[in-house]
């Protein structure tokens, strides 16, 4: 694990405006920076960065947080990967905390395998660009495929010399252990001999989501019928082909921004599409599509468009993959290329504009695709047509969402000219088999029930707003000292309640804490309760409260909520309301009043809740207990009236 001292140094050195400026074009806006959202397609800036608070907020998507949260959202790094990225950017040495011997050995082994793989990638690239044989054979092949120097560099393409152990000899000379060369699959060891696995092949490095080299794909350039055309690294501690997608590292930002992923079959398909200007494309690397690979895409988008060759094998592969994608709750479309074309050749011959237009016009919903593909086989054969319909319903049964299932059943009914009732019955039978439950005899369709106009609309969650306001006050002004009009409950000789003001000087956090403790109030919202406790603890522990340090120490789910609260006021700057002569009064002008007002409103809300609770209780108790509860209700109503009158005066 990365030591806490390293993490602290990373946060101390990192500047949110510098890091985010590498990914977003930021422009100065007062004391902040603003830019176009990297998470959505927009023309008006809704992305705000605060150097003072060291946080960012994307008002279009609702996302926000500190510098690490941005890297985790935008680059899809894990927390340790984000820390390491920042450490590298700011030249900070990573220190690891004490681990057991077994943990150390496991971590050392994985890291050693990564280092070996990264050395191999650089070695193969060097062969391609600086070795005469590499240039004559490997580079010539890539040029013949139409790849530019820029795209060859981007994907780190290389060449392994046609020599039995040239790579292994060089790696050993550089100090890399034979054990790790064998475990990564780069070297094959037999008894006292060893030789290069990828001898005489052009090389395609396979990267993780964060950009580390996991393994390789190698294509042979000779006509040796005994050797496989493509050869992948074997399974290892760092490379699991069922969990990896070729090109995901280069595609992740484009997939998230376009909200769609093009799925192709081979390495060159991905590269050729990138060269044409379409970057949201990945490949299953010639292996059958797996649920793990689909879940990898699901982290970035819910939409997949499957692009496969026009030949029969490519079409069969697309059909096999559709059901798997549907099972993961994804939306899937399929696009077939003209006869004799595949994604590689099509992208090579057409401009970006033409490719995008073709994909837009020819991408079909999976139901339409299956119908068009299999209908030709069925033709006038009723038995085959019935089998086709059953196959389509089978795909629909994989969809976890019931509403989507119903929509697709209706579409199948229209296309195949068959009643919805029969399709629903078949769907129920299939679902029954899959779940092990007995299928119902008849499936009822949804009935649309109109809302009663007299039905009250959903009200604003008053408690949520009050609790959020308290957190906001604590974060913004917790250490500010103010004069507060403290309202003390007093009872006169007649038993009447009244609130008498007493002037108290205190810090905002002390006032809030004492008032809530006196009323024995706990936040209803779990996030707010955790944040409140963390804020109060920080104020009690430290003389100086640093928002930046506080946010950096929060778990991601709380950090996002805190950022959202802190950046509320930045919306005024973002929309430049003052230019439109809309002037927003700052909270600093009336902090004491706002704190009192919020606490009073919370007390009134809780009193009202207590009254409602007692009203429900009085209906269920024996008559002899009613007078006591009734008196409590009257007392609370009196208190509520006083609180309401005080609130009106304050407001």
Distance of CA 477 to the CA centre of its chain: 32
Q: What is the mean pLDDT of the chain?
A: 81
Please say whether the beta carbons of 166 and 124 come within 8 A. Answer: no
pLDDT tops 50 at residue 312? yes
Does some domain include residue 20? Answer: yes
- Is there a single domain that holds both residue 565 and residue 476? yes
Does some domain include residue 516? Answer: yes
CA-to-CA dists, residue 330 to 53, 292, 300, 404, angstroms: 38, 13, 11, 11
Last residue of a domain, one of 303, 333, 352: 303
Q: How many domains does the chain have?
A: 4
pTM to 2 decimal places? 0.61
Last residue of a domain, one of 89, 120, 147: 89
pLDDT for the residue 612: 84
**What CATH number should be reported for the domain holding residue 24?**
3.90.580.10
- Is there a single domain that holds both residue 508 and residue 638? yes
Q: Give the separation between CA 613 and CA 626, rounded to whole angstroms.
A: 14
Q: Give the separation between CA 470 and CA 476, rounded to whole angstroms.
A: 10
Distance of CA 232 to the CA centre of its chain: 29
Does some domain include residue 329? Answer: no
Please say whether the beta carbons of 142 and 132 come within 8 A. Answer: no
Indicate the DSSP class of residue 134.
I
- Is there a single domain that holds both residue 244 and residue 187? yes
- Is there a single domain that holds both residue 116 and residue 28? no
pLDDT tops 80 at residue 255? yes
**What CATH number should be reported for the domain holding residue 154?**
3.90.980.10
Distance of CA 506 to the CA centre of its chain: 42
Other C-beta atoms lying within 10 Å of the C-beta of residue 329 = 14
Q: Give the separation between CA 207 and CA 191, rounded to whole angstroms.
A: 31
Give the pLDDT mean for 639-650.
64
Does some domain include residue 339? Answer: no
Residue pLDDT, tens place only, 198-216: 999 999 999 987 788 999 9
Q: Give the separation between CA 331 and CA 399, rounded to whole angstroms.
A: 9
Q: Give the separation between CA 84 and CA 425, rounded to whole angstroms.
A: 55
Sign of CA dihedral 630, 636, 641, 642: positive
Q: Give the separation between CA 440 and CA 183, rounded to whole angstroms.
A: 53
In 3D space, the residue among 481, 475, 632 whose CA is nearest the CA of residue 554 turns out to be 475
Sign of CA dihedral 402, 408, 412, 413: positive
Q: Give the separation between CA 604 and CA 644, rounded to whole angstroms.
A: 7
Please say whether the beta carbons of 440 and 428 come within 8 A. Answer: yes
Confidence band, pLDDT 50/70/90 cuts, at residue 188: very high
Residue pLDDT, tens place only, 83-114: 888 998 899 988 876 555 565 555 578 888 99
Does some domain include residue 99? Answer: no
CB proximity list for 308: less than 8 A, separation 6 or greater: 264, 265, 314, 315, 317, 318, 334, 336, 342, 343
In 3D space, the residue among 64, 61, 62, 53 whose CA is nearest the CA of residue 15 turns out to be 53
In 3D space, the residue among 538, 585, 534, 542 whose CA is nearest the CA of residue 558 turns out to be 534
**What CATH number should be reported for the domain holding residue 410?**
1.20.50
Last residue of a domain, one of 278, 303, 328: 303
Give the pLDDT mean for 328-332.
87
- Token pair 């899937």 in the structure block, residue: 332
- Is there a single domain that holds both residue 162 and residue 209? yes
Does some domain include residue 518? Answer: yes
- Is there a single domain that holds both residue 618 and residue 502? yes
Q: What percent of the chain has pLDDT over 70?
A: 83
pLDDT for the residue 650: 44
Q: Give the separation between CA 24 and CA 34, rounded to whole angstroms.
A: 9
- Is there a single domain that holds both residue 275 and residue 164? yes
Domain that holds residue 234: 108-303
- Is there a single domain that holds both residue 254 and residue 142? yes
Does some domain include residue 266? Answer: yes
Residue pLDDT, tens place only, 129-142: 999 999 999 999 99
Residue pLDDT, tens place only, 487-507: 666 666 766 666 677 777 888
- Is there a single domain that holds both residue 132 and residue 37? no
In 3D space, the residue among 602, 480, 464 whose CA is nearest the CA of residue 539 turns out to be 480
- Is there a single domain that holds both residue 421 and residue 533? no
Please name the helix (run of DSSP H) or strand (run of DSSP E) that holds residue 365, with its range, or none.
strand 364-365
Q: Give the separation between CA 236 and CA 247, rounded to whole angstroms.
A: 19
- Token pair 């060859």 in the structure block, residue: 152
Task: Calculate the CA dihedral of residues 490, 495, 498, 499 and round it to 10 degrees.
Answer: 20
Q: List 308's β-bridge partners, or say none.
A: 336
- Is there a single domain that holds both residue 538 and residue 635? yes
Please say whether the beta carbons of 623 and 630 come within 8 A. Answer: no
pLDDT for the residue 442: 43
Q: Give the separation between CA 351 and CA 131, rounded to whole angstroms.
A: 33
Between 262 and 4, the higher pLDDT residue: 262
481 CB-side CA count, 13 A:
3
Give the pLDDT mean for 390-409.
86
As a residue count, the chain comes to 651
Please say whether the beta carbons of 503 and 486 come within 8 A. Answer: yes
Please say whether the beta carbons of 1 and 96 come within 8 A. Answer: yes
Does some domain include residue 446? Answer: no
Please say whether the beta carbons of 524 and 536 come within 8 A. Answer: no
3-class secondary structure, 440: coil
- Is there a single domain that holds both residue 115 and residue 188? yes
């Amino acid at each position: 694990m990365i030591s806490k001292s390293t993490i602290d140094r990373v946060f101390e050195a990192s500047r949110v405006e510098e890091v985010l400026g590498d990914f977003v074009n930021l422009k100065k806006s007062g004391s902040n920076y603003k830019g176009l959202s990297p998470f959505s397609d927009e023309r008006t800036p809704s992305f705000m960065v605060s150097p003072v608070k060291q946080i960012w907020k994307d008002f279009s998507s609702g996302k926000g947080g500190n510098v690490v949260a941005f890297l985790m959202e935008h680059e899809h790094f894990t927390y340790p990967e984000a820390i390491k990225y920042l450490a590298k950017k700011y030249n900070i040495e990573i220190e690891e905390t004490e681990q057991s011997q077994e943990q150390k050995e496991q971590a050392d082994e994985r890291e050693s395998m990564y280092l070996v793989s990264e050395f191999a990638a650089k070695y193969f690239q060097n062969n391609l660009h600086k070795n005469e044989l590499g240039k004559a054979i490997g580079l010539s092949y890539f040029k013949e495929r139409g790849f530019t120097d820029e795209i060859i560099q981007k994907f780190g393409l290389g060449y392994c010399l046609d020599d039995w152990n040239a790579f292994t000899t060089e790696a050993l000379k550089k100090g890399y252990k034979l054990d790790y060369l064998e475990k990564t699959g780069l070297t094959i060891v037999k008894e006292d001999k060893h030789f290069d696995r990828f001898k005489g092949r052009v090389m395609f490095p396979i990267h993780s989501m964060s950009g580390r080299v996991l393994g390789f794909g190698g294509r042979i350039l000779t006509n040796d019928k005994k050797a496989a055309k493509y050869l992948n690294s074997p399974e290892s501690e760092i490379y699991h082909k069922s969990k990896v997608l070729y090109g995901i590292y280069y595609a992740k930002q484009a997939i998230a921004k376009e909200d769609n992923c093009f799925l192709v079959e081979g390495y060159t398909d991905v590269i050729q599409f990138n060269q044409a200007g379409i970057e949201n494309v990945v490949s299953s690397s010639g292996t059958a599509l797996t649920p793990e690979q689909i879940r990898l895409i699901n982290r970035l988008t819910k939409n997949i468009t499957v692009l496969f060759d026009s030949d029969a094998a490519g079409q069969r592969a697309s059909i096999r993959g559709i059901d798997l994608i549907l099972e993961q709750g994804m939306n899937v479309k399929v696009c077939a290329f003209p006869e004799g074309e595949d994604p590689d050749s099509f992208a090579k011959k057409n401009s970006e504009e033409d490719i995008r237009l073709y994909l837009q016009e020819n991408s079909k919903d999976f139901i339409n695709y299956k119908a068009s593909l299999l209908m030709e086989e069925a033709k006038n054969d009723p038995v085959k047509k019935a089998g086709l319909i059953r196959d389509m319903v089978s795909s629909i049964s994989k969809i976890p969402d019931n509403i989507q299932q119903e929509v697709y059943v209706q579409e199948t009914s229209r296309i195949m000219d068959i009643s919805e009732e029969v399709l629903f019955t078949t769907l129920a039978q299939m679902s029954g088999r899959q779940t092990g439950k007995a299928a119902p005899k008849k499936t009822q369709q949804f009935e649309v029930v109109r809302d009663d106009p007299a039905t009250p609309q959903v009200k604003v969650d008053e408690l949520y707003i009050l609790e959020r306001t308290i957190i906001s006050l604590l974060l913004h002004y917790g250490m500010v000292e103010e004069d507060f009009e403290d309202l003390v409950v007093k009872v006169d000789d007649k038993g009447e309640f009244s609130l008498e003001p007493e002037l108290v000087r205190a810090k905002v956090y002390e006032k809030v804490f004492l008032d809530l403790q006196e009323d024995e109030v706990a936040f209803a919202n779990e996030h707010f309760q955790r944040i409140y406790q963390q804020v109060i603890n920080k104020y009690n522990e430290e003389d100086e409260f640093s928002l930046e340090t506080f946010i950096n120490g929060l778990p991601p789910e709380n950090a996002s909520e805190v950022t959202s609260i802190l950046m509320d006021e930045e919306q005024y700057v973002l929309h430049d309301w003052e230019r439109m002569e809309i002037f927003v009064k700052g909270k600093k002008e009336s902090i004491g009043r706002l704190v009192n007002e919020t606490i009073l409103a919370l007390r009134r809300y809780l009193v009202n809740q207590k009254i409602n609770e007692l009203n429900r209780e009085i209906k269920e108790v024996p008559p002899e207990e009613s007078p006591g509860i009734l008196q409590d209700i009257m007392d609370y109503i009196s208190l509520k009236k006083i609180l309401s009158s005080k609130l009106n005066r304050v407001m």
